[in-house]
Homo-oligomer: A and B are copies of this chain.
């Protein structure tokens, strides 16, 4: 039968706990601040828009948090996901490196996002919430939450970034099939939307403002965020825990772990369980975060306190940021168009535990097409950025002749992103410019809060 291509686990191998990396991190993290008072935020400040079950996870000091049976039961619809050894790609690249990819595109929504969407829907439903409001860029997160709300009998209202709403009607149709209501953002439904009417293409920051406003203004509606926050990152750690078991089945351990970063949750999901092992066991594993060169938060942003949204409704968080009203150029990786990043990940980059690399989108699509031609699967534009890093690592391994083991999170398929592939094939895909001047201007508009130490 030859060498294995996939490493599969049984449903009984679905993790029983989420990994909370925070207690393992050195030092005391700088607290989020209340958007009005700029004072450290207490759990109660989040209660108007989040259920207590998730707030507890957000501030938890427990290294492990049990996954409710109801959530694990839903995970069984697509988990455990396969870990592939990319044998055909290795041959195509002529590299001695061993390349493994964890494939999260097998979920019904096509990405890793349902891992947290299902958990969030569960805790909200348990506390009597009737509806969730959220934003979505390219549509991966909105699809995931629409699915999760359907599975837990909640209503779902999605504010979709205008440019994606126009370009990706099929993502909208997918959300509607699962019963969600989808609005083009900026909309006329919220103050935040009406104030941004002139920015008709919209942005994630604006859509977040609209969703938060909707949740804050209604008794039985909560808000749901698809990345950035601690509870979101920890829900995703089912990915890394499974991958660890699977790569052990292959008799290996990764030398390099790679993921793309928009808000940080798919990267955290794969990497945090392995970062914990590095910290606890003194391993030498390297971690590389891939972001778009046109939205280079980790590689060129400032480490500052900033809002998560454009209107300044969310708490301020300590993170690398391009400024909350910086509008990233319209790269096809809509899920990576975010001005900030998860505070936990930013801290790891600041400490030098995670390397960050900025990838131009043509280089990402070049890797995506070559990956598809070798392995079959069509990657989403977001993980295409991570694949570019994998290609570079495999090339370096070829030059030095080392059999480095590379593990990457292929966090979603590109079935709803084929217009980007089409543009690439037609030679019409270009590398969009990052404007340092726009970032400087956006950073100058930030409130005066000292950068955390």
Q: With A373-B178, A421-B177, A425-B177 in contact, do A10 and B8 touch (Cβ < 8 Å)?
A: yes
Q: Are A378 and B174 in contact (CB under 8 A)?
A: yes
CA of A350 to CA of B361, assembled, Å: 56
* Contact pattern, A 86-121, Cβ under 8 Å of B = 1, otherwise 0: 001000000000000000001111100000000000
Task: With both chains docked as a complex, state the minimum distance between the C-beta of A62 and any C-beta of chain B, in angstroms.
Answer: 23
Residue total for A at the interface (Cβ-Cβ under 8 A)? 48
Whether B78 lies near A376 (C-beta < 8 A) is: yes
What per-residue 1/0 map shows which CB atoms of A416-440 lie under 8 Å from chain B? 1011011001000000000000000
- Knowing A11-B4, A173-B421, say if A373 contacts B150 (CB, 8 Å): yes
Determine which of B5, B173, B176, B419 lies in contact with A173 in the assembled complex, contact meaning CB atoms within 8 Å: B419
Say whether, besides A4-B11, A11-B4, A108-B377, A418 and B173 are in contact (CB < 8 Å): yes
Which residue from B2, B76, B150 sits with its C-beta under 8 Å from A73? B2
B-chain residues with CB within 8 Å of residue A69 when the two chains form the complex = 2
Shortest distance between the CB of A129 and any CB in chain B (Å) = 20
Decide: A376 and B151 in contact? CB cutoff 8 A: yes
Closest B residue to A107 using CB positions: B376
Contact (Cβ within 8 A) B177 A378? yes
- Is B177 a contact partner of A369 (Cβ separation < 8 A)? yes
Q: A178-B372, A372-B178 are in contact. Are A419 and B170 (CB under 8 A)?
A: yes
A106 with B108, Cβ < 8 A, contacts A10-B8, A174-B418 known: no
* Contacts A73-B2, A76-B5, A108-B376 given; does A422 touch B173 at CB 8 Å: yes
A37 contacts chain B at the CB level, 8 A cutoff: no
Residue from B11, B375, B378 within 8 A of A77 (CB atoms):
B375
Contact B415 A376 (CB under 8 A): no
A425 and B11 contact, CB distance less than 8 A: no
Q: Which of B2, B108, B173, B416 contacts A425 (CB 8 A)?
A: B173
**A147 interfacial by beta-carbon distance below 8 Å:** yes
Set of chain B residues within 8 Å of A6, measured between Cβ atoms: 11, 76
Residue numbers in B under 8 Å from A369 (CB-CB): 177
Judged by a CB distance under 8 angstroms, whether A1 is at the interface is yes
Query: Given contacts A2-B69, A170-B418, could you give 5 more A-B pairs where the C-beta distance is less than 8 Å?
Result: A1-B11, A6-B11, A77-B375, A108-B376, A415-B416
Q: What are 27 residue pairs bridging A and B, where the CB atoms are less than 8 Å apart in the complex?
A: A1-B14, A2-B69, A4-B76, A5-B76, A8-B10, A88-B151, A106-B106, A107-B376, A108-B372, A108-B376, A108-B378, A109-B376, A110-B415, A150-B373, A151-B376, A169-B418, A169-B419, A170-B415, A170-B418, A173-B418, A174-B378, A174-B418, A174-B421, A176-B421, A177-B369, A177-B425, A178-B372
